[in-house]
C-alpha cells in the first residue's frame, strides 16, 4: 500500500457534492444563489445509541443567523429528506456543521443528510448517507516496525459479532484532518516520507458509518539517501523519494511541490538534495546508455554512465514518469518530466494535475578556495612547503581561504592542488621527490588527521610541477576546522628561488565518491609473462583475458589523478603450497593507462604488501599525471606461481579500487 501526496499533504479523494431543494411555500421568492454555494453530508461517528455527524454548508455569510437553520435530517427510511426527523446542529465560521444524535437503537440502520432551511421556507439537502448504531469498539495500536518510509498499523476491534465490518486505518499529515486522510488496510503501509510526523486512526466501517479508535502519531526515521556518481553535473539518488530500495516506486507527488527540500534524507552530508531540473533529465538521457530490465520482479529502466556506475528507475504500468522542477515553457498547464518505456527514454511533459514519482539529485560537495587568501611557503621554518588553507594560529586565522563553517563531512575529504615553479627551480643534488600530506583537525580537534609525510595511501608523491591529490578518511561527523593545511616535506629546503613557486588549491571535495567499478569477468589469476615463477592477478590486460572479454573496457570508465589503491581477497593458497615453499610473497601493483603516458611497474618502495596465505590485502601506487582508461592493470605476486601445487585452486576477488583523484 502506497501514499500519494498533493501539495505537501496526503492526496485525498475529491468527490462531487449532491444538493437538492424542496420548496414547500406557496409562491415565496428568496435569493439563494449567493447564499448557499455548497452543502455536503459528512461522516457519522456512531456508537450503540448515539452518533456525531459532520457536514458543511457554504456560504451563509450574507444572512443573519436568525434567517437560517442547519442540522441533520435522519430516518430509518432510505429517503430521510421526505419524512425524516430534523436535529438542529451548530455551524462555525467556515461552514462546518456538527450534529449529535441520541436515543438511537442498537443494530438499526439510519439514513441521514445535512440540511439548511432558509427563512423557515426553503430546504436544501446534502447527499444521503447511512450509519448503523453499533456496539463495535476500536482500539488503535501503536505503529510498529517504523522505518524511514514504512510503518505497520494494527488495531483491536470488538463487538463485531453478527455485524459485517470493514476495518482499516486512516493516515494524514495533520491531526485535524486525520479522519479525512488516506484509507489503508491494516498492516504494512509504504511510501512514507523520511523524518515526517504522521497522524493515524484505526477504524471499523459498518455500512457507511465509521467507528474510530484513538488518534495517534509517530515520526519516521531520517534516511541517509545514497547517491550515485554518474560523471554528470550532479549526483543521482539510488532510490525514489519514499523508497528504501531501488526497485521500490516510492511516493507520488503533485507538480510544483518541492518536497525534497523538506525531507530528512541528507542527515550530516554537506550538500542538500533537490528536485532535478529539465536540464538534469536531458543530461541523464544524453550521457548514459538505457536498458529496460527487471529488478526484484519490478520493470524499469537502468541508466548506465561511462564510468560504469548506474541507477535503476522503476516503472509503473509499463512506463516511467518522473517530475522535474521545471515548468513547461510554452504551456503552464504542463510540467517537464522524464518519460521512459521499454524502447527509449526522453524528456517530456505531463499535466500539472498528475501525481508522479520523484528521484532527487544532489550537488557534488566541492569547496572552491579563495586564492587571494591562500598562504604558502616555509611557514614553520622547517624546510617544508606549507599550503595554509586555514589555521586558527596562522596568517589565515582572520582571512581563511575557505570558511571553516562550510566544512562538514562524515566519510572523507579530498584536496587537489597544483604546483608551479618547482621543476626548473631545484638545487643541484635535490631529492626531486617529496611527500605531501594533509594536516587537519576539525573545530573540536577530533576527528583529525596528521600526515606522517611518508608515502601512505593518503599522501602524494610530488616530483615537480603538476597537480596532486591528498586526502583523509573519517568514521565520525567532522565539522569546521582548527587547522587545515597541506605540507610537502623538505621541498622548500631544495628550492633555489622561493618567489618562483606558485600554488593553487583546485578543489576540496567532501564525502567524495572515490571508488572505481571493475569488470569481474576480466579478472584472472595466471602466471606472470609465462615465466613459471611469479603469480599475477590480471585485473585487466588489453593483450590478455581482459582484451578478449571486453576490449578497451576501461577506456571511458576510468579517470583519475594520483593514488590508486586495490583491495583484494585471495584464496586457494593455504594447503596448496609445495614442501619448502617460501610462504611469503612480495606483492605490488602494476598499471599503464590507455595511452601509456602514465605507468607504474613497482619498485617505488611503498604501497606493496606481503601475501602469506589466504586473506585480504591492499596494494597501492601514486601515479603522477592524469590516467584515462587502462591497457595493463595487474597485481604481481613474486614467486608464488612456482610454489603452488595446483594453480587452478587460486581464486581472487577485487573488493574495491580507490582513486581519490577520480574525475
Query: Residue 209's closest CA among 273, 138, 290, 289?
Result: 138
Q: What percent of the chain has pLDDT over 90?
A: 78
pLDDT at 523: 96
Statement: residue 9 has pLDDT above 50: no
pLDDT band at 4 (very low <50, low <70, confident <90, very high): low
Rg (CA), the chain: 35
Size of the chain, expressed as the number of residues it contains: 663
* Alpha carbons 259 and 192: distance in angstroms, whole number: 12
Class of the CATH domain delimited by 134-219: mainly beta
Contact (CB, 8 A) for 107 and 131: no
Q: What is the pLDDT of residues 251-302, one digit of tens each?
A: 999 887 778 988 999 887 778 899 999 999 999 999 999 999 999 999 999 9
For residues 359 and 330, which has the higher predicted lDDT (pLDDT)? Answer: 359
* Alpha carbons 421 and 498: distance in angstroms, whole number: 9
Q: C-alpha distances in angstroms, 161 versus 136, 204, 531, 591?
A: 9, 13, 85, 77
pLDDT at 477: 85
pLDDT band at 208 (very low <50, low <70, confident <90, very high): confident
Which residues sit opposite 356 in a β-bridge?
253
Statement: residue 25 has pLDDT above 50: no
pLDDT at 513: 87
pLDDT at 270: 75
Q: C-alpha distances in angstroms, 224 versus 72, 145, 196, 273, 406?
A: 51, 18, 14, 11, 20
Average pLDDT of the segment spanning 498-513: 95
Average pLDDT of the segment spanning 421-427: 98
Q: What is the pLDDT of residues 108-128, one digit of tens each?
A: 999 999 999 988 888 899 999
C-alpha cell at 201: 486512526
**In sequence order, what are the residues at sequence separation of 6 or more whose Cβ sits closer than 8 angstroms to the Cβ of residue 94?**
none
Statement: residue 62 has pLDDT above 80: no
pLDDT at 15: 28
Average pLDDT of the segment spanning 64-92: 93
Average pLDDT of the segment spanning 541-564: 93
Statement: residue 575 has pLDDT above 80: yes
pLDDT at 3: 55
Which residues sit opposite 227 in a β-bridge?
237
* Alpha carbons 111 and 108: distance in angstroms, whole number: 10
pLDDT at 399: 97
| 7-16, 51-60, 156-165, 627-636: the lowest-pLDDT one | 7-16
CATH entry, 10-132, from 2.60.40.10, 1.10.3720.10, 3.40.50.620, 3.50.50.60: 2.60.40.10
Residue 663's Cβ-count burial label (10 Å; 0-12, 13-18, 19+) is middle
HEC per residue, 169-227: EEEECCCCCHHHCEEECCEEEECCCCCCEEEEEEEEEECCEEEECCCEEEECCCCCCCE
DSSP code of residue 260: G
Statement: residue 557 has pLDDT above 80: yes
pLDDT at 59: 79
Average pLDDT of the chain to the nearest whole number: 91
| 148-162, 267-281, 393-407, 540-554: the lowest-pLDDT one | 267-281
**Which residue bears the cell 594536516?**
439
**In sequence order, what are the residues at sequence separation of 6 or more whose Cβ sits closer than 8 angstroms to the Cβ of residue 643?**
577, 578, 581, 582, 583, 585
pLDDT at 26: 34
Average pLDDT of the segment spanning 212-231: 94
Q: What is the pLDDT of residues 632-662, one digit of tens each?
A: 999 999 999 999 999 999 999 999 999 999 9
For residues 363 and 383, which has the higher predicted lDDT (pLDDT)? Answer: 383
* Alpha carbons 555 and 210: distance in angstroms, whole number: 65
pLDDT at 377: 98
The model's pTM is: 0.64
Statement: residue 30 has pLDDT above 60: no
* Alpha carbons 63 and 119: distance in angstroms, whole number: 10
With b for 16 or more beta-carbon neighbours within 10 A and e for fewer, the 503-521 pattern comes to bbbebbbbbbbbbbebbee
Amino acid at each position: 500500500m502506497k501514499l500519494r501526496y498533493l501539495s505537501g499533504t496526503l492526496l485525498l479523494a475529491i468527490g462531487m457534492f449532491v444538493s437538492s431543494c424542496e420548496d414547500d411555500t406557496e409562491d415565496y421568492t428568496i435569493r439563494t444563489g449567493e447564499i448557499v454555494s455548497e452543502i455536503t453530508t459528512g461522516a457519522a461517528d456512531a456508537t450503540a445509541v448515539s452518533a456525531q455527524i459532520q457536514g458543511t454548508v457554504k456560504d451563509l455569510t450574507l444572512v443573519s443567523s436568525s434567517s437560517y437553520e442547519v442540522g441533520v435530517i435522519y430516518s430509518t427510511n432510505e429517503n430521510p429528506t421526505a419524512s425524516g426527523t430534523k436535529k438542529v446542529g451548530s455551524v462555525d465560521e467556515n461552514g462546518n456543521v456538527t450534529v449529535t444524535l441520541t436515543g438511537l437503537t442498537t443494530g438499526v440502520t439510519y439514513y441521514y443528510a445535512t440540511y439548511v432551511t432558509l427563512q423557515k421556507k426553503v430546504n436544501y439537502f446534502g447527499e444521503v448517507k447511512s450509519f448503523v448504531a453499533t456496539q463495535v469498539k476500536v482500539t488503535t495500536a501503536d505503529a510498529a516496525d517504523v522505518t524511514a518510509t514504512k510503518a505497520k498499523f494494527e488495531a483491536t476491534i470488538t463487538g463485531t459479532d453478527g455485524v459485517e465490518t470493514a476495518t482499516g486505518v486512516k493516515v494524514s499529515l495533520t491531526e485535524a484532518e486525520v479522519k479525512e486522510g488516506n484509507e489503508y488496510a491494516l498492516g504494512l503501509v509504504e511510501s512514507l516520507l523520511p523524518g515526517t510526523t504522521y497522524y493515524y486512526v484505526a477504524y471499523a466501517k459498518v455500512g457507511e458509518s465509521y467507528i474510530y479508535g484513538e488518534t495517534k502519531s509517530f515520526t519516521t526515521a531520517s534516511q541517509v539517501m545514497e547517491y550515485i556518481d554518474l560523471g554528470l553535473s550532479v549526483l543521482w539518488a539510488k532510490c525514489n523519494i519514499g523508497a528504501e530500495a531501488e526497485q521500490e516506486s516510492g511516493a507520488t507527488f503533485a507538480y510544483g511541490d518541492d518536497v525534497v527540500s523538506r525531507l530528512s534524507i541528507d542527515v550530516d552530508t554537506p550538500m542538500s538534495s533537490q528536485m532535478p531540473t529539465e536540464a538534469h533529465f536531458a543530461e541523464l538521457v544524453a550521457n548514459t546508455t538505457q536498458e529496460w530490465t527487471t529488478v526484484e520482479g519490478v520493470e524499469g529502466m537502468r541508466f548506465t554512465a561511462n564510468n560504469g556506475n548506474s541507477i535503476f528507475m522503476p516503472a509503473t504500468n509499463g512506463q516511467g514518469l518522473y517530475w522535474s522542477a521545471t515548468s513547461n515553457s510554452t504551456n503552464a498547464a504542463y510540467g517537464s518530466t522524464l518519460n521512459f518505456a521499454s524502447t527509449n527514454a526522453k524528456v517530456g511533459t505531463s499535466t500539472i494535475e498528475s501525481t508522479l514519482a520523484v528521484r532527487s539529485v544532489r550537488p557534488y560537495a566541492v569547496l572552491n578556495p579563495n586564492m587571494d587568501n591562500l598562504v604558502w611557503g616555509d611557514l614553520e621554518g622547517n624546510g617544508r612547503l606549507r599550503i595554509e588553507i586555514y589555521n586558527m594560529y596562522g596568517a589565515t586565522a582572520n582571512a581563511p581561504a575557505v570558511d571553516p563553517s562550510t566544512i562538514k563531512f562524515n566519510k572523507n575529504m579530498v584536496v587537489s592542488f597544483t604546483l608551479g615553479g618547482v621543476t626548473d627551480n631545484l638545487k643541484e643534488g635535490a631529492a626531486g621527490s617529496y611527500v605531501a600530506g594533509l594536516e587537519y583537525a576539525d573545530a573540536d580537534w577530533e576527528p583529525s588527521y596528521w600526515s606522517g609525510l611518508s608515502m601512505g595511501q593518503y599522501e602524494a608523491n610530488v616530483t615537480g610541477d603538476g597537480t596532486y591529490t591528498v586526502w583523509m578518511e573519517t568514521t565520525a561527523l567532522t565539522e569546521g576546522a582548527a587547522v587545515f593545511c597541506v605540507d610537502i616535506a623538505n621541498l622548500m629546503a631544495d628550492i633555489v628561488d622561493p618567489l618562483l613557486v606558485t600554488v593553487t588549491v583546485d578543489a576540496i571535495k567532501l564525502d567524495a565518491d572515490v571508488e572505481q567499478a571493475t569488470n569481474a569477468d576480466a579478472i584472472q589469476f595466471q602466471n606472470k609473462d609465462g615465466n613459471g615463477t611469479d603469480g599475477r592477478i590480471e585485473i585487466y590486460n588489453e593483450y590478455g583475458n581482459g582484451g578478449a572479454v571486453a576490449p578497451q573496457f576501461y577506456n571511458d570508465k576510468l579517470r583519475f589523478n594520483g593514488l590508486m589503491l586495490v583491495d583484494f581477497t585471495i584464496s586457494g593458497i593455504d594447503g596448496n603450497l609445495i614442501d619448502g615453499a617460501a610462504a611469503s610473497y612480495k606483492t605490488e601493483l602494476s598499471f599503464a593507462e590507455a595511452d601509456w603516458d602514465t605507468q607504474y611497474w613497482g619498485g617505488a618502495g611503498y604501497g606493496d604488501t606481503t601475501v602469506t596465505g589466504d586473506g585480504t590485502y591492499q596494494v597501492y601506487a601514486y601515479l603522477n599525471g592524469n590516467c584515462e582508461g587502462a591497457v595493463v592493470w595487474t597485481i604481481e605476486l613474486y614467486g608464488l606461481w612456482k610454489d603452488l601445487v595446483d594453480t587452478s585452486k587460486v581464486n581472487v576477488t577485487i573488493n574495491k579500487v580507490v582513486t581519490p583523484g577520480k574525475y
